[in-house]
Amino acid sequence: MDLGKEAEELVRRAEAAAGKAWAPYSGFRVGAAIRGASGAIHVGVNVENASYGLTMCAERVALGCAVSAGEREFTALAIAAAGGHDAAPCGACRQALAEFSPRLAVYYRDGGRMHARSLEELLPDAFHGGGTP
Protein backbone atom coordinates (compact mmCIF):
# COMPACT_ATOMS: atom_id res chain seq x y z
CA MET A 1 0.00 0.00 0.00
CA ASP A 2 1.38 3.43 -0.92
CA LEU A 3 0.69 5.51 2.17
CA GLY A 4 2.29 8.72 0.96
CA LYS A 5 5.38 10.52 2.19
CA GLU A 6 4.03 11.95 5.46
CA ALA A 7 2.57 8.63 6.60
CA GLU A 8 5.74 6.78 5.64
CA GLU A 9 7.78 9.16 7.75
CA LEU A 10 5.52 8.43 10.73
CA VAL A 11 5.85 4.67 10.17
CA ARG A 12 9.65 4.99 10.03
CA ARG A 13 9.66 6.96 13.28
CA ALA A 14 7.43 4.33 14.96
CA GLU A 15 9.70 1.52 13.73
CA ALA A 16 12.79 3.31 15.03
CA ALA A 17 11.14 3.95 18.40
CA ALA A 18 10.15 0.28 18.81
CA GLY A 19 13.81 -0.58 19.36
CA LYS A 20 13.71 1.47 22.57
CA ALA A 21 10.69 -0.31 24.08
CA TRP A 22 10.89 -1.76 27.57
CA ALA A 23 9.21 -5.14 27.09
CA PRO A 24 11.13 -7.78 29.08
CA TYR A 25 7.93 -9.69 29.99
CA SER A 26 6.12 -10.03 26.67
CA GLY A 27 9.13 -9.60 24.40
CA PHE A 28 6.75 -7.63 22.13
CA ARG A 29 8.32 -4.25 21.42
CA VAL A 30 6.04 -1.55 20.05
CA GLY A 31 6.71 2.00 18.86
CA ALA A 32 4.20 4.72 18.05
CA ALA A 33 4.63 8.09 16.36
CA ILE A 34 1.93 10.76 16.47
CA ARG A 35 1.85 13.99 14.47
CA GLY A 36 0.46 17.00 16.28
CA ALA A 37 -1.35 19.92 14.70
CA SER A 38 1.93 21.84 14.99
CA GLY A 39 3.43 19.36 12.52
CA ALA A 40 5.83 17.97 15.13
CA ILE A 41 6.14 14.21 15.59
CA HIS A 42 6.16 12.71 19.10
CA VAL A 43 7.12 9.10 19.74
CA GLY A 44 6.40 6.56 22.44
CA VAL A 45 7.16 2.93 23.24
CA ASN A 46 5.49 0.31 25.37
CA VAL A 47 6.79 0.36 28.93
CA GLU A 48 6.17 -2.87 30.85
CA ASN A 49 6.42 -3.53 34.55
CA ALA A 50 7.02 -6.53 36.82
CA SER A 51 3.47 -5.80 38.01
CA TYR A 52 2.10 -6.62 34.56
CA GLY A 53 -1.09 -4.59 34.79
CA LEU A 54 0.91 -1.37 35.01
CA THR A 55 2.10 -1.76 31.42
CA MET A 56 1.72 1.31 29.24
CA CYS A 57 1.09 0.91 25.52
CA ALA A 58 3.26 2.74 23.01
CA GLU A 59 0.32 4.77 21.65
CA ARG A 60 -0.64 6.18 25.03
CA VAL A 61 2.98 6.95 25.89
CA ALA A 62 3.32 8.85 22.58
CA LEU A 63 0.04 10.65 23.27
CA GLY A 64 1.18 11.63 26.76
CA CYS A 65 4.51 12.96 25.45
CA ALA A 66 2.70 14.98 22.78
CA VAL A 67 0.18 16.46 25.21
CA SER A 68 3.04 17.26 27.59
CA ALA A 69 4.71 19.17 24.75
CA GLY A 70 1.55 21.28 24.38
CA GLU A 71 -0.20 19.47 21.52
CA ARG A 72 -3.98 19.24 21.74
CA GLU A 73 -4.96 18.07 18.26
CA PHE A 74 -3.49 15.33 16.14
CA THR A 75 -3.57 14.46 12.47
CA ALA A 76 -2.01 11.00 12.23
CA LEU A 77 -0.53 8.13 14.23
CA ALA A 78 1.60 5.16 13.16
CA ILE A 79 2.17 2.01 15.20
CA ALA A 80 4.95 -0.49 14.52
CA ALA A 81 6.12 -3.63 16.29
CA ALA A 82 9.78 -4.66 16.18
CA GLY A 83 10.41 -7.46 13.71
CA GLY A 84 7.59 -6.33 11.42
CA HIS A 85 4.91 -8.10 13.46
CA ASP A 86 1.27 -7.08 13.29
CA ALA A 87 0.33 -4.32 15.77
CA ALA A 88 -3.19 -2.95 15.60
CA PRO A 89 -4.04 -0.42 18.33
CA CYS A 90 -5.76 -1.93 21.38
CA GLY A 91 -9.23 -0.77 22.41
CA ALA A 92 -8.02 1.25 25.38
CA CYS A 93 -5.65 3.24 23.17
CA ARG A 94 -8.43 3.89 20.65
CA GLN A 95 -10.51 5.46 23.42
CA ALA A 96 -7.55 7.48 24.72
CA LEU A 97 -6.88 8.87 21.25
CA ALA A 98 -10.57 9.67 20.67
CA GLU A 99 -10.38 12.14 23.58
CA PHE A 100 -8.48 14.47 21.28
CA SER A 101 -8.93 13.73 17.58
CA PRO A 102 -11.74 11.41 16.44
CA ARG A 103 -10.75 11.88 12.80
CA LEU A 104 -7.13 10.91 13.38
CA ALA A 105 -5.56 8.84 10.57
CA VAL A 106 -4.11 5.61 11.97
CA TYR A 107 -1.49 3.49 10.17
CA TYR A 108 -0.62 -0.01 11.34
CA ARG A 109 0.21 -3.51 10.11
CA ASP A 110 -2.38 -6.26 10.54
CA GLY A 111 -2.77 -9.58 8.73
CA GLY A 112 0.67 -8.91 7.28
CA ARG A 113 -0.29 -5.74 5.43
CA MET A 114 -0.54 -2.05 6.14
CA HIS A 115 -3.87 -0.45 7.01
CA ALA A 116 -4.85 3.21 6.92
CA ARG A 117 -8.01 3.87 8.92
CA SER A 118 -9.64 6.80 10.63
CA LEU A 119 -10.03 6.56 14.38
CA GLU A 120 -13.80 6.88 13.86
CA GLU A 121 -13.69 3.67 11.83
CA LEU A 122 -11.64 1.95 14.52
CA LEU A 123 -13.85 3.13 17.39
CA PRO A 124 -17.36 4.14 16.34
CA ASP A 125 -19.41 5.79 19.07
CA ALA A 126 -16.47 6.50 21.37
CA PHE A 127 -17.35 7.63 24.85
CA HIS A 128 -17.19 11.42 25.12
CA GLY A 129 -18.44 12.03 28.62
CA GLY A 130 -21.38 11.17 30.80
CA GLY A 131 -23.09 14.53 30.76
CA THR A 132 -23.22 17.36 33.29
CA PRO A 133 -22.98 16.15 36.90
* Residues labelled catalytic: 59
The residue among 38 and 55 lying less far from ligand THU, judged by its C-beta, is 55
Q: Considering only CA atoms, which of 25, 70, 79 is closest in space to residue 47?
A: 25
CB of 81 to ligand THU, least distance (A): 8
In the complex, which residues of this chain contact ligand THU (CB under 6 A)? Answer: 23, 26, 28, 30, 46, 48, 55, 57-59, 89-90, 93
The residue among 41 and 58 lying less far from ligand THU, judged by its C-beta, is 58
Order the strands of the 74-81 sheet from edge to edge. Answer: 41-45, 30-36, 74-81, 105-110, 113-118
CB of 109 to ligand THU, least distance (A): 12
Q: What is the 3-state secondary structure (H, E, C) of 67-102?
A: HHCCCCCEEEEEEEEHHHCCCCCCHHHHHHHHCCCC
Residues in the chain: 133
Per the DSSP assignment, residues forming a β-bridge with 44 are 32
The residue among 57 and 76 lying less far from ligand THU, judged by its C-beta, is 57
The residue among 58 and 63 lying less far from ligand THU, judged by its C-beta, is 58
Q: Considering only CA atoms, which of 93, 4, 76 is closest in space to residue 36?
A: 76
CB of 72 to ligand THU, least distance (A): 22
CB of 132 to ligand THU, least distance (A): 32
